[in-house]
Structure 1
Amino acid sequence: MRRRKGLSPEDRDLWSRVARTAVPLDPKRKVQAADLPQMTDLPPARPAASLSVSPSTAAAAAASLPRFRIGQAAGTPAPHLARSSTPAERLAQAGLRMDAKVHRKMSQGRLAPEARLDLHGLTLSAAHPELIHFILSCQGSGLRLVLVITGKGRGDHGPLPTRPGALRHQVPYWLHSPPLAAAVQQVTAAHYRHGGDGAYYVYLRRFT
């Protein structure tokens, strides 16, 4: 029986499947259309779906993105958000816990402190016990208004790095924490004649 030449439709279909996955040895040679017979059993390719965004959605997304000034790093807060409140501002917002008339006179520097403690130049570790001893001793002696001087400070020198003016920031926290919280009634930034931002008026509770 004489053998038929050429490929059957099934063979050509199989060959086209293999040829489509092959990489030619000569990249300059273009694959001929005759070498890759069309397959009739595959569905036609579907066009890619288009993505549409409404103008209002795009505007809302743009408004939610963070804004930066030229030269500002991504992790740096904006200038109007970077400033933190000072200790004096935080104390002024804490509320009044003493007689209003006495507090007004004290804030205006019209009341003379009955004792004073100068912590300027001390480290945090050295200043804390000095402050505790001073406040408790003054309360035990029946004093009401005392002055604690911290200095505005450029930073305290110790084994660990601290923020500039660490004493000025830390002393109000100590005065409102045990064991001094029970003895202290009010803490206010001192008048300029008694040290201004570098000192605090401490109004003590009556000793019982």
Structure 2
Amino acid sequence: MTTSVAAKANRNLITSTSLEQIKHDFQQQFFDIQRFLTENKRKMQQDPQVLLDFVDSDLMNVWSSKLTIRAMVGVKIWKKLSKTEREELTQAYRETMQRYLFETMQKFEGQQALVDGLQLTSKGNKGWLTAKLVLETFPDLTVDLKLYRPENHWLIYDFRFQGISFIKLKQHQYQSIINEHGVAALIQDFNDKNQVFRKSLSSEPND
């Protein structure tokens, strides 16, 4: 990440501990995302790297890949991994999450994301942010984003749709791979799929 991109990413971090300010700051981020996708639609169609760069600079600093993959494999497995295995697994999953977010942003068709509620734990460092997705031709959808503030800014590391957690959805699959074939197999699976994704980007024709 370049110095300018890193500086921009740091400006996007949400640090407040006030309930209303947190909601306001996340709403502003939603507006910023919607504005970028709307204003750069043509550029993204011509060059997918434009969207990939945006995901890397503006979304991946808010989503914690480490917290997500650690929860998916479980504390018991995570503690058994070496430092190198943890780093390689986290990096492979970061690229996987980047791919997921890229594919999600590609489906943008003018939807609005509106903050609809926020619940924090008694300690004030964890909670669920509720967002309502306003669609033109379908009923509104509600998505819950799981938040954690480990140090001085808020991170997202899970989401819940119709009561189903993204982490829970993947947990059994990833744990089974590690238990049966080792963590290297899961890392390789992530890397293989990410490589296919990168090749598909480079082969997409420009309009």
* TM superposition score normalised by structure 2: 0.22
> Bigger relative contact order, structure 1 or 2, given CA contacts below 8 A and separation 6+?
2
Higher strand proportion (structure 1 or 2): 2
Which of these two proteins has the greater Rg computed from alpha carbons? 1
